[in-house]
């Protein structure tokens, strides 16, 4: 603890014992760390913190299953900080040799962990740093070469870059944390993580903590390989979403999803809402359409430069952005208070991802709402989520244009009534205002005032259609059963190595995808042609057949290489193949 902080004592951080709760006072934590905990407003440990800290503070390895929002970040940070404070190094140290290493799958998550670590380390002499892709490489390199580091937070790629250049040495790491291991597995980072682990001391000479949202066989195999006699702590996923977050569902036609989203935001006057989409192009289109309607919206996805993403998150945190649209990779690890609603513009494929999305709201015990905008085809997926999460999803009626206008008018009137009036400053203008309004009665003034503020809503919703849809309405539409199934069918994205450079056309792409008997009637959606690659949406139950058809094809002397890739956004196919080999 620095000299200026020596006057602080635990007497200034009083927390009453409570039955069934664990206080941070109940652990043997360093005073400087306790002051950091007090500054963060922590009083009682969350379930994951209480269970993990019992073992890790004693030096044991641990494997924890917990979603974001459960307090797992603080659990491993408190373990690290307390260990480093209680076991200071007395021998000479060198730059670029961290004592603790935390590896996270995304930049946003890594930088959030760094921010949390700085808060807990505020009253210590420990130095915290992050190295992540998309940020200034030279600046990070200079700091590694010239500064001592106690806690390093990193993403796998940038970390290995510095290790390869010998700017960073991991042979002095005392504590290794692998956060969101399942996500790193899904994103293909495990080969990199294996190389990172090999740079650190063997498991008998380091403490290893591994956290994952799921415990599948692959994750457990890795965990057992990298830990020694670990304590296994499991916090049920349902605890994140069922206690404070209400699940709602709005059913409409696929073509009306955007209109429903726009109506939902307006009808409930949402001022801090996060919208999730499954692909970057959908994220971009939704953001652009909201902006065209005058809504303060922004987006984050993998193809947005990192500096811009950080600025966008800060604007959202400060209330300057009303709606944030994100992909799962970009939105994972975002910890922003006050998000009242999470909206699933597209449903994820599994309940674990749904849980992560819902965890953006209802944080720290606050209430929140997770709303899903779906079509009839997706009702089966909602039923599966209900079963897996053991939570009922409430189907809500889509608000009509008239209801939205009424709600907006009442909101405007209430806002007007609550606005403080500075009579002294208004006095010089009252005579002029009175003369302008003297020919109007009270009712006419009210109508004119509301119209001036509200005409755009009245115009937009004047002929708005009913967005609610039911199974009976689907049948009345005159479509055959097969046509109804095809209209809302689940689509997957396939990419292959022929693009504009080969002068391929959309007609030729359709022909390539359907040149086998089993693909002749394939359902094909949106097609995008880039410089060196093309991307096409294929009916999900026919993806494998289309891949087989494409991979047997040759176009203008080039053998086609195709794969399914939902996160692709126009990157060079050959560059991606090269990265995968590395």
Taking 3-state DSSP, the helix, strand and coil percentages for the chain, each rounded to the nearest 5, stand at 50, 15, 35
- Average pLDDT value for the chain: 82
- CA 103 vs. chain centroid, Å, equals 17
411 found inside a domain: no
The mean per-residue pLDDT over the stretch 504-524 comes to 75
**pLDDT tens, residue by residue, 375-388:** 887 888 888 888 88
Q: Rounded distance, CA 257 to CA 277, Å?
A: 12
Confidence class for position 266, pLDDT limits 50, 70, 90: confident
pLDDT at 247: 92
Q: b/e per residue, 464-484, with b = 16+ CB within 10 A?
A: eeebbbeeeebeeeeeeeeeb
Structure tokens at 476: 């009345």
570 Cβ contact list (under 8 Å, min separation 6): 303, 528, 530, 533, 535
Mean pLDDT lowest among 13-22, 225-234, 463-472:
463-472
Using the predicted structure, report yes or no on whether residue 530 has a pLDDT greater than 90.
no
pLDDT at 423: 83
What CATH code is carried by the domain that includes residue 123?
A: 3.40.50.300
pLDDT at 121: 96
DSSP line for 51-100: HHHHHHTTT--EEEE--TTSSHHHHHHHHHHHHHHHS---S---TT--SE
**End-of-domain residue from the set 235, 266, 293:** 235
418 found inside a domain: no
Residues 187 and 331 in one domain: no
147 found inside a domain: yes
Which runs of E-coded beta strand occur in 223-271?
Answer: 231-234, 245-251
Using the predicted structure, report yes or no on whether residue 2 has a pLDDT greater than 60.
no
Mean pLDDT lowest among 96-110, 125-139, 274-288, 443-457:
443-457
Residues 47 and 86 in one domain: yes
Residues 221 and 248 in one domain: no
**Structural domain for 388, as ranges:** 240-397
Residues 212 and 82 in one domain: yes
**End-of-domain residue from the set 364, 397, 430:** 397
Structure tokens at 186: 């899904």
Three-state secondary structure of 320-379: CCCEEEECHHHHCCCCCCCCCEEEECCCCCCHHHHHHHHCCCCHHHCCEEEEEEECHHHH
**pLDDT tens, residue by residue, 331-355:** 766 778 789 899 999 998 778 788 8
The mean per-residue pLDDT over the stretch 446-474 comes to 61
**Structural contact between residues 123 and 5, judged by C-beta atoms closer than 8 angstroms:** yes
pLDDT at 568: 62
13 found inside a domain: yes
479 found inside a domain: no
Residues 48 and 154 in one domain: yes
The mean per-residue pLDDT over the stretch 452-481 comes to 54
485 Cβ contact list (under 8 Å, min separation 6): 377
**pLDDT tens, residue by residue, 569-579:** 554 444 444 44
**Structural contact between residues 342 and 369, judged by C-beta atoms closer than 8 angstroms:** yes
Residues 109 and 229 in one domain: yes
457 found inside a domain: no
């Amino acid at each position: 603890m620095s000299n200026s902080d020596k006057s602080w004592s635990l007497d200034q951080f009083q927390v009453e014992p409570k039955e069934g709760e664990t206080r941070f006072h109940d652990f043997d934590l360093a005073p400087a760390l306790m002051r950091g905990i007090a500054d963060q407003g922590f009083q009682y440990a969350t379930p994951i913190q209480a269970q993990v800290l019992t073992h890790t503070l004693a030096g044991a390895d641990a494997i924890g299953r917990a979603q974001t929002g459960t307090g797992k970040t603080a659990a491993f940070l408190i373990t690290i900080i307390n260990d480093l404070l209680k076991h200071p190094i007395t021998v000479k140290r060198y730059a670029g040799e961290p004592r603790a290493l935390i590896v996270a799958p995304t930049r946003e998550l890594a930088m959030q962990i760094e921010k949390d670590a700085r808060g807990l380390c505020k009253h210590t002499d420990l130095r915290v740093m992050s190295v992540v892709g998309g940020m200034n490489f030279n600046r990070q390199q200079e700091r590694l070469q010239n500064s001592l580091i106690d806690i390093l937070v990193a993403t796998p790629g940038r970390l290995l870059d510095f290790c390869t250049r010998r700017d960073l040495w991991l042979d002095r790491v005392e504590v290794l944390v692998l956060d969101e291991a399942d996500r790193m597995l899904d994103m293909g980072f495990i080969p990199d993580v294996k190389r990172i682990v090999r740079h650190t001391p063997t498991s008998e000479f380091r403490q290893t903590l591994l956290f994952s949202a799921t415990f599948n066989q692959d994750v457990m195999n890795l965990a057992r390989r990298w830990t020694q006699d670990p304590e296994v702590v499991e916090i049920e996923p349902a605890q994140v979403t069922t206690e404070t977050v209400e699940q709602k569902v709005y059913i409409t036609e696929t073509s009306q999803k955007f209109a429903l989203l726009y109506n939902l935001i307006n009808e409930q006057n949402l001022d801090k809402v996060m919208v999730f989409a499954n692909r970057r192009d959908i994220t971009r289109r939704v953001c652009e359409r909201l902006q065209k309607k005058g809504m303060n919206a922004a987006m984050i996805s993998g193809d947005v430069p990192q500096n811009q993403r950080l600025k966008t998150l800060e604007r959202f945190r400060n209330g300057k952005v009303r709606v944030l649209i994100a992909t799962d990779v970009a939105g994972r690890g975002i910890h922003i208070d006050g998000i009242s609603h999470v909206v699933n513009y597209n449903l994820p494929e599994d309940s674990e991802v749904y849980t992560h999305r819902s965890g953006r709201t209802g944080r720290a015990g606050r209430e929140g709402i997770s709303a899903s905008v779906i079509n009839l085809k997706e009702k089966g997926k909602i039923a599966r989520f209900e079963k897996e999460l053991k939570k009922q999803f409430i189907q809500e009626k889509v608000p009509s244009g008239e209801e939205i206008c009424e709600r907006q008018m009442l909101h405007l009137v209430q806002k007007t009534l609550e606005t403080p009036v500075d009579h002294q400053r208004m006095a010089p203008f009252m005579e002029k205002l009175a003369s302008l309004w003297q020919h109007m009665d009270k009712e006419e003034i009210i109508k004119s005032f509301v119209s001036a503020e509200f005409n755009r809503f009245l115009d937009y919703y004047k002929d708005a259609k009913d967005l609610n849809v039911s199974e009976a309405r689907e049948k009345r539409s005159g479509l055959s059963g097969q046509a109804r199934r095809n209209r809302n069918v689940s689509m997957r994205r396939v990419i292959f190595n022929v693009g504009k450079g080969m002068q391929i056309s959309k007609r030729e792409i359709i022909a390539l995808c359907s040149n086998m008997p089993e693909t002749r009637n394939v359902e094909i959606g949106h097609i995008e042609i880039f410089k060196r690659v093309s991307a096409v949406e294929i009916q999900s139950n026919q993806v494998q057949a289309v891949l087989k058809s494409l991979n047997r094809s040759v176009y203008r002397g080039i053998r086609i290489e195709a794969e399914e890739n939902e996160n692709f956004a126009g990157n060079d196919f050959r560059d991606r193949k090269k990265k995968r080999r590395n």
